[in-house]
Amino acid sequence: MNWRVMKTAAAAALALGCATAGAQTVEVMHWWTSGGEGAAVGVLKKDLETRGVKWVDMAVAGGGGEAAMTALRARAVAGNPPTAAQLLGMAVTDWGNEGFLGDLNDVATKEGWDKVVPPALQRFAKFDGKWVAVPVNIHRPHWLWMNAKIFNDNGLKPPTTWDEFNAVADKLKAKGITPVAMGGQPWQEATAWEGIVLGMGGPDFYRKAVIEADPASLKSATMVKVFDQMRKIRGYVDRNFAGRDWNLATSMVIKGEAGMQLMGDWAKGEVISAKLTPGKEILCAVAPGTQGSYLFNTDFFAMFKVGADRRPAQLTMASAVMNPSFQEAFNLAKGSIPARSDVSGDKFDECGKKSIADLKTATAASHVYGSLAHGHAQPAAIQRAYLDVITKHFNSDMGSKAATEALAQAVLAAK
């Protein structure tokens, strides 16, 4: 090999080496492992691939993300965090406080994120005035999903109050149909509970009892009724509910094995991935009594501090997630609505359009609050205090009054 050939080969090898070392790769931690969630991840993965970014998947199964959070902590404290991790609101602040998150302000300013992301989400996406996470969606946890055939066959209408809900459930039970599909996991029970708090107490009560953790509200007569309703629901679930994953409960409604499910709109992702039409075979309504208000939870991709070699891919991912057409495509699969206020809702189904319209109405009335079950109302320690009592009550014969007292006590101790 002569000198010139050697030089060319060396340059080519170097170029190849650089391309490999600097290969645009993102390692992403998330808990999206159900059918609908997997389809939404696929949209993101594909979008990144078209931008030359390779996706390294770090999926940790477990709805609500508890197991994923444990895995993330282990990686981060070992000094080896992923490029990005799915986090719910308050968790972004926690990781920011611990100094783990990188600064996205340059790209945020260049792309004008401040102007298109609702302030309620910016509060979580920013830490110390800097963008550290990108919001991928807006989920609404307080929905009721119903099997249309079961409802039609039995002459039932979507309930709009908890009394109507109980009347529907009693009718189904009398017919030998499981009224409510549920998985007995603390976050699922808390998802139902917060919908009842909002539906029975109204938005001001939700604010006092959940956002402000006001002891008098936690011990109030209204809260006693909330726990009474939880006890009612306990009587409407099947014998095998304990530990069941939320998507298996959704599938019971899809297959006609149960009439209803109280669950966030990620359940709609399952309906779509089963090739059914939300609003047609599976009906959607807000949880009884909650029309006019909007609880939300948003999945953020928090960007961890990474070495310079991983930074370009990370910034590409942040920009890709904020892209309006990506936000549309992703949320069409996920069941949620876009986190940008400038994305058209035209392509969304009836339930998605309702979510977009309801968010506008609730925003105008200042009736938008963060979800407790999904990390947007209280920091982790206080959230856990709520969840512990809710689940203990649901899975024992604890009385409603005793539950309210235990709740007030546990929340006070955690504060």
Binding site for ligand BGC (CB under 6 A): 31, 37, 63-65, 88, 139, 246, 266, 297, 299, 374
> What gap in Å lies between CA 322 and CA 356, rounded to an integer?
18
Contact between 122 and 266 under an 8 Å Cβ cutoff? The reply is no
Q: How far is the CB of 261 from ligand BGC (least distance, A)?
A: 13
Q: How far is the CB of 234 from ligand BGC (least distance, A)?
A: 22
Query: For 263, phi and psi rounded to 5 degrees?
Result: -160, 155
Angle (nearest 5°) at CA 256 between 259 and 175: 55
Q: Which is nearer to ligand BGC, 56 or 61 (CB)?
A: 61
Q: Which is nearer to ligand BGC, 83 or 86 (CB)?
A: 86
Q: How far is the CB of 37 from ligand BGC (least distance, A)?
A: 5
Q: Which is nearer to ligand BGC, 124 or 246 (CB)?
A: 246
Q: Which is nearer to ligand BGC, 367 or 374 (CB)?
A: 374
Q: How far is the CB of 269 from ligand BGC (least distance, A)?
A: 7
Q: How far is the CB of 205 from ligand BGC (least distance, A)?
A: 23
Contact between 385 and 410 under an 8 Å Cβ cutoff? The reply is yes
When computed from its CA atoms, the radius of gyration of the chain, rounded to whole angstroms, is 23
Q: How far is the CB of 79 from ligand BGC (least distance, A)?
A: 27
The contacts of residue 298 (CB under 8 Å, 6+ apart) are 88, 89, 121, 124, 135, 136, 137, 138, 139, 339, 376
Q: Which is nearer to ligand BGC, 227 or 300 (CB)?
A: 300
Q: Which is nearer to ligand BGC, 83 or 247 (CB)?
A: 247
Q: Which is nearer to ligand BGC, 268 or 340 (CB)?
A: 268
Q: Which is nearer to ligand BGC, 65 or 102 (CB)?
A: 65
Select the residue whose beta carbon is closest to ligand BGC and give its number: 266
Q: How far is the CB of 360 from ligand BGC (least distance, A)?
A: 21
Q: How far is the CB of 245 from ligand BGC (least distance, A)?
A: 9
Q: How far is the CB of 384 from ligand BGC (least distance, A)?
A: 15
**Positive or negative: CA dihedral 288, 294, 297, 301:** positive
Q: Which is nearer to ligand BGC, 162 or 187 (CB)?
A: 187
- Joined tokens for residue 253: 């409604």
Q: How far is the CB of 31 from ligand BGC (least distance, A)?
A: 6
Contact between 210 and 197 under an 8 Å Cβ cutoff? The reply is yes
Largest CA distance in the chain: 91
Q: How far is the CB of 337 from ligand BGC (least distance, A)?
A: 12
Q: Which is nearer to ligand BGC, 120 or 150 (CB)?
A: 120
Contact between 37 and 267 under an 8 Å Cβ cutoff? The reply is no
> What gap in Å lies between CA 226 and CA 140, rounded to an integer?
20
Q: Which is nearer to ligand BGC, 64 or 186 (CB)?
A: 64
> What gap in Å lies between CA 257 and CA 121, rounded to an integer?
37
